[in-house]
Amino acid sequence: MRIEENKSLKGYNTFGIDCSAKYFVAVTSVSELQQILSEEKFNNRFIIGGGSNMLLTKDIDALVIHLNLKGKKVLSETDNTVTIQAMAGENWHEFVQYCINNDFGGLENLSLIPGNVGTAPIQNIGAYGVELKDSFVSCDAIEITTGKKRTFTKEDCNFGYRNSIFKNEEKGNYIITSVTFQLTKKDHKLHTGYGAIQEKLTEKGIKNPTIAAISEAVIEIRQSKLPDPKKLGNSGSFFKNPVIDSEKFQQFKINNPKAPYYELSPSEYKIPAGWLIEQAGFKGKRFDDAGVHKNQALVLVNYGTATGDEIWQLALKIQQAVKDQFDIYIEPEVNII
Ligand code: EPU
C-alpha cells in the first residue's frame, strides 16, 4: 500500500472536481483496509468508492481511502435463482452487464447507473421502477473505528427511496466491502411498465423482451437524457424528487394542472424535481463552467473547471427559485462534502 500526499481527486469523483486529499491510499483487499484503519496516525479518514454521488466543495484534510476491491463469485444456486456476491470496487454497470451475459435477471433496469457496487446500497440506487433493494440479500461492511466485519441483512439496511441506514443512523460508521444479490436464472420478472421503457421496446419492434433487450432499452434511454460522466462531469440526479402531502398537492394541482406527478399513497405525492427546475427556467442554463443539463434539468454538470462551490451555489439558487415559485423544498440527493 502506497500512501500519497496532496493527491488530486479529479479522477476519483464523477463531477470531475479538482480538490485534493492530504493523504491518499488505494486498498485492494479487506485485510489492507483493516490494516490502514488500525493505523493511529490516520485517524481522520474519508472513503471514496466510485465517487459518483458526491460534490467536493473543499480539499480533504484526511486520509482518503479509495476502495479498489475487485471480484465476484456465485455463492449458491438453485434451479431458479443464483446468489452472487460482488466486491465493493466493481464498477456497477460492468457488474450488471456480467449478470445479463450470464442470463441472471433482476438488475437490468439499473443498467448504466454510474458508480461502484459498494456505494449502491448507501442510497438504494433505483431507476425505471426497480431499486437495488429488490434483489439485495446482504452486504458485508467494516466498522471504521474497530476494523470489525459486520453483515447487514436487507432488514438491517432499512432501505427507502434513495435512502438507507448508511445515510442515517450508521452514516460514516461503516465501509461496505461487498454486496450479495439474489437474481433469477429463469422466469425473470420483467419491469417494462415504468417510464419510457415500453415505448422504447415498441419503437424497436420487441414484443417479448429478454433481460438483455430491457438493458439495451434502458441504456438507450439513459444515453439520450443523461450525460456520460466521462465526457461531462456530473453526479446523476442532483436532487431527490420531493414528496408533498395531499393538502399541498391539491393546491399544486390547481396552480399547475399539466404537471407530472406520482401518487405514492392517498396522502403522499411525488413531483419530479426535473419538471420543477425546468419550469423555474434553469434547464440548459450555464453559469461559467457550472450548468444544468439541457436534456434533464435534474442533473447539474461541470463543463470543465467549475469548483464544487460554484456547483453548490448554483444548486442553492435553483433550490430557492423552486421554493419561491412552487413553495416546494427540493433536497439534494448527492452528498455535499
Ligand atoms: N421532466 C421535465 N423536465 C426535465 C426532466 C424531467 O419536465 O428536465 C419530467 C419528465 O417529462 C417526466 C418526469 O419529469 O414527466 C420524470 O422524469 P424522468 O422519467 O426522466 O425521471 P426523474 O424523476 O427525473 C428519476 C431518478 C433517476 C432515474 C429516473 C428513471 C430520482 C431523483 N431520479 O428521475 O435517477 O434514472 O427516475 O427511473 O429519483 C439518479 O438517481 O442519478 C438518476 C438518474
Determine whether the shortest distance from the Cβ of 285 to ligand 1 is under 6 A: no
Residue 6 backbone class (left: φ over 0; alpha: ψ -120 to 50; beta: rest): left
Distance from the alpha carbon of residue 173 to the mean position of ligand 1, in angstroms: 31
Q: Which of 237, 238, 258 to mutate to test the pocket of ligand 1 (most atoms within 8 A of CB)?
A: 237
Q: What is the pLDDT of residue 292?
A: 98
Question: What are the boundaries of each domain within the chain?
Answer: 4-67, 72-225, 233-336
In the CATH scheme, what is the code of domain 233-336?
3.90.78.10
Q: Which of 113, 119, 124, 110 lies closest to 159 in space, CA to CA?
A: 124
Determine whether the shortest distance from the Cβ of 236 to ligand 1 is under 6 A: yes
Q: What is the pLDDT of residue 196?
A: 86
What does the block give as the cell for 226? Answer: 443523461
* Other beta carbons within 10 Å of 172: 11
Q: At what angle do helices 211-225 and 92-101 cross, to 10 degrees?
A: 150
- How much helix, strand and coil, in percent to the nearest 5, is found in the chain? 30, 30, 40
Q: Which atom of ligand 1 is nearest to the CA of 222?
A: 36
Do the strands 290-292 and 286-287 form a parallel or antiparallel pair, or are they unpaired?
antiparallel
Determine whether the shortest distance from the Cβ of 298 to ligand 1 is under 6 A: yes
Mean pLDDT per 10-residue segment, the chain (337 residues) = 95 95 96 93 88 94 95 96 97 97 97 93 94 98 94 97 94 95 96 88 92 96 92 94 96 95 93 97 97 96 96 98 97 93
Instruction: Report, as residue numbers or ranges, the catalytic residues.
Output: 162, 237, 333
Q: Which atom of ligand 1 is nearest to the CA of 125?
A: 41
Q: What is the pLDDT of residue 50?
A: 84
What amino acid is encoded at 108 in this protein? E
CA dist 126 to 81, 111, 134, 148, Å?
21, 10, 10, 29
What does the block give as the cell for 315? Answer: 444548486
Q: What is the pLDDT of residue 40?
A: 86
What does the block give as the cell for 67? Answer: 476502495
Question: Ligand 1: which residue has its CA nearest to atom 25?
Answer: 127
Give domain 4-67's CATH architecture. 2-Layer Sandwich (3.30)
Angle at 115 between CA 10 and CA 296, to 5 degrees: 90
Q: Please tell me the distance from the alpha carbon of residue 23 to that of residue 60, in angstroms, as a whole number.
A: 8
Q: Please tell me the distance from the alpha carbon of residue 282 to that of residue 261, in angstroms, as a whole number.
A: 20
Q: What is the pLDDT of residue 122?
A: 94
Q: Please tell me the distance from the alpha carbon of residue 132 to that of residue 139, in angstroms, as a whole number.
A: 12
72-225 is a CATH 3.30.465.10 domain? yes
